[in-house]
């Protein structure tokens, strides 16, 4: 083991026990493997069967194609943002939604850190530039809520900027709703051991290693800080008009199906097949901070 590898090994307080985690060790610790799926209060003992998942997903994706035709015909605008801890499954969920949509009127927005010019603008300005036009779907892979989590935890904004943001968000999102844009906010929630497992998978998969950033490593000991910021974010920004849909995402399959179901059941589009959509699993998807209590 090199010195660089040794420096990435950390001691983590997991439920009152000190655990050593070395992300560069190709062998996943048994305590992570054993507890990953059930971590964070996840309600199921196993993952959804892959064949069952794929059959259900296809039906939902057919409905999403109908939605896109409806949006185009009516000029309706739809926007959804996806937040969650690193490795929560935001990108994969967005891919499942977007897979069969016409890219001419369905966009994914995943912004890099602000440029010098953007950093001098009104904080929300660079996001507004990507809002949907008539008949369009826009899916944000992370959003302005960076300032509610990663920025204050990692010291990328001042305490005053953080406080001002939490005050401004409800007013900002009221304008989105008042403008007539159909707007969804999703928080994908995972347990700590599941996050560590996914980080480890990324580190040792040559096709996924690009997903593991130095920021992920730096945040390994900041789980409680992120939890505190998450809970305050929900308290300040969960409203009837712009609610947070919270999704237990230790099993990516159940998470993706329920995210899409929620979108479809909310919309009143032509040709809607409720039998194909099915019902929300209320053990997986709920609303507001009480869902995680």
pLDDT in tens, 265-288: 999 999 999 999 999 999 999 999
**H or E element in which residue 139 lies:** strand 137-141
Q: What is the pTM of this model?
A: 0.96
For 96, the token pair is 């499942």
Tens of pLDDT, residue by residue over 164-208, are: 999 999 999 999 999 999 999 999 999 999 999 999 999 999 999
The structural domains of the chain, with segments of one domain joined by +, span 3-292
**CATH H-level, domain 3-292: superfamily:** P-loop containing nucleotide triphosphate hydrolases (3.40.50.300)
- Note the pLDDT tens digit of each residue in 39-97: 999 999 999 999 999 999 999 999 999 999 999 999 999 999 999 999 999 999 999 99
Most distant CA pair in the chain: distance in Å? 61
């Amino acid at each position: 083991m090199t010195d660089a590898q040794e420096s990435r090994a950390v001691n983590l307080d997991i439920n009152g026990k000190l655990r050593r985690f070395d992300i560069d060790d190709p062998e996943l610790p048994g305590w992570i493997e054993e507890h990953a799926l059930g971590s964070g209060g996840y309600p199921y003992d196993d993952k959804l069967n892959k064949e069952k998942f794929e059959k259900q997903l296809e039906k939902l994706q057919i409905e999403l194609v109908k939605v896109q035709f409806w949006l185009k015909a009516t000029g309706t605008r739809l926007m959804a943002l996806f937040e969650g801890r690193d490795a929560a499954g935001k990108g994969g969920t967005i891919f499942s939604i977007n897979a069969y949509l016409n890219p001419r009127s369905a966009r994914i927005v995943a912004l890099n850190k602000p440029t010098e010019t953007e950093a001098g603008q009104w904080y929300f300005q660079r996001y507004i530039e990507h809002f949907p036009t008539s008949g369009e779907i826009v899916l944000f892979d992370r959003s302005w809520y960076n300032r509610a989590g990663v920025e204050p935890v990692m010291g990328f904004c001042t305490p005053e900027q953080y406080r001002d943001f939490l005050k401004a968000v409800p007013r900002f999102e009221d304008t989105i709703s008042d403008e007539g844009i159909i707007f969804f906010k999703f928080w994908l929630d995972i347990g700590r051991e599941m996050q560590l497992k996914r980080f480890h998978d990324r580190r040792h998969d040559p096709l996924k290693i690009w997903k593991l950033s130095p920021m992920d490593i730096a945040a390994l000991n900041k789980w409680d800080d992120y939890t505190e910021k998450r809970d305050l974010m929900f308290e300040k920004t969960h409203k009837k008009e712009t609610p947070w849909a919270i999704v237990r995402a230790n099993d990516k399959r159940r998470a993706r199906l329920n995210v899409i179901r929620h979108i479809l059941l909310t919309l009143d589009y032509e040709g809607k097949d409720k039998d194909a959509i099915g019902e929300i699993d209320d053990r997986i998807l709920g609303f507001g901070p009480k869902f995680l209590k």
